[in-house]
Amino acid sequence: MSIPWADIGAVSTAGLSAIATWGAWLAARRSAKTAEAVARIERQRWHADLTPQFDISIERSESGRAALSIRLVGPLPLGRLDEIAVRIVSSDDMDRTARLPGGPTQEDLDAQVWGPCRFTHGADGADENGQTVAPFSLSVGTGRPFSIERTRPPHWQEGPDVERRWRDEWLNAPMRLVITCTREEFEPWVVPCDVEVPTAVRVRWLN
């Protein structure tokens, strides 16, 4: 019986070709994964480099209120933000979870601004509780003011000196903000900010 060397050679060649093809596919897949990882790292680095920078201050006004000035100051390559959403959050780190039967509900606790300042309801698209304003856009180098006022104690707190105790609680506390920024083709940025309340504004609100 003769050995079909030609057939064996053909099978061997086909096998080697298949191995080579598989090796090339595996190398291409690894290369694609490496390129994807590099691109992802580069996107993350670029996203971090473009984190919005704000100059935020509180200025006294003559109306008994004050103005919160928000300016987008950089970075220059960012150019603009399509939407900026500002929320006032608690000026302390207390856990305010409703636990006592008959006490304030979680909805009551969440609606209260726990800090020295809130947005003025009816101005700048502020919500009823003074926690947010209507979203807006800014280009780098521009800004806008927002009307703010002193917070009031929660409706469930009572006593003849409740106003004084409430003011004293937040006397040296900052106005704490969380700013969510979006721009087309980028993941959102979330920028927390602590804004000092100037002495002149505090003194005016104490009177």
Per-residue pLDDT band at 19 (split at 50, 70, 90)? confident
**114 and 175 share a domain?**
yes
Structure-model confidence comparison of residues 17 and 115, the more confident one: 115
The DSSP-derived string for 82-112 is EEEEEEEE-SS-------STTS--HHHHHHS
**28 and 57 share a domain?**
no
Give the pTM: 0.79
Query: What percent of the chain clears pLDDT 90, i.e. is strictly above it?
Result: 66
Rounded CA-CA distance 197/167 in Å is 13
Per-residue pLDDT band at 15 (split at 50, 70, 90)? low
Structure-model confidence comparison of residues 36 and 163, the more confident one: 163
Phi, psi (deg, nearest 5) at residue 72: -90, 110
Q: Point out the least confidently predicted range of 15-29, 119-133, 193-207.
A: 15-29
**44 and 56 share a domain?**
no
Task: Give the pLDDT score at 142.
Answer: 98
CB contact at 8 A, 186 and 46: no
Model confidence at 183: pLDDT above 70: yes
**79 and 146 share a domain?**
yes
Tens-place pLDDT, residues 62-89: 666 899 999 999 999 999 999 999 999 9
**197 and 102 share a domain?**
yes
Structure-model confidence comparison of residues 36 and 124, the more confident one: 124
**186 and 122 share a domain?**
yes
CB contact at 8 A, 145 and 68: yes
Q: Point out the least confidently predicted range of 13-17, 21-25, 76-80.
A: 13-17
> Which residues lie below 8 Å from residue 134, measured CB to CB, with a gap of 6+?
124, 125, 126
**198 and 106 share a domain?**
yes
Tens-place pLDDT, residues 27-69: 767 766 766 766 677 888 999 999 999 999 999 876 668 999 9
Task: Give the pLDDT score at 4.
Answer: 61
Range of the domain at 25: 1-49
**90 and 127 share a domain?**
yes
**59 and 128 share a domain?**
yes
Rounded CA-CA distance 161/94 in Å is 23
Domains contained in the chain, number: 2
Q: What's the CATH code of the domain at 74? A: 2.60.40
Task: Give the pLDDT score at 56.
Answer: 98
Q: Point out the least confidently predicted range of 12-16, 115-119, 127-131.
A: 12-16
Provide the CA 169 distance to its chain's centre, in angstroms: 26
Task: Give the pLDDT score at 139.
Answer: 98
Rounded CA-CA distance 82/77 in Å is 14
**57 and 27 share a domain?**
no
Closest CA to 135 of 121, 124, 120: 124
**110 and 11 share a domain?**
no
**156 and 67 share a domain?**
yes
Task: Give the pLDDT score at 30.
Answer: 74
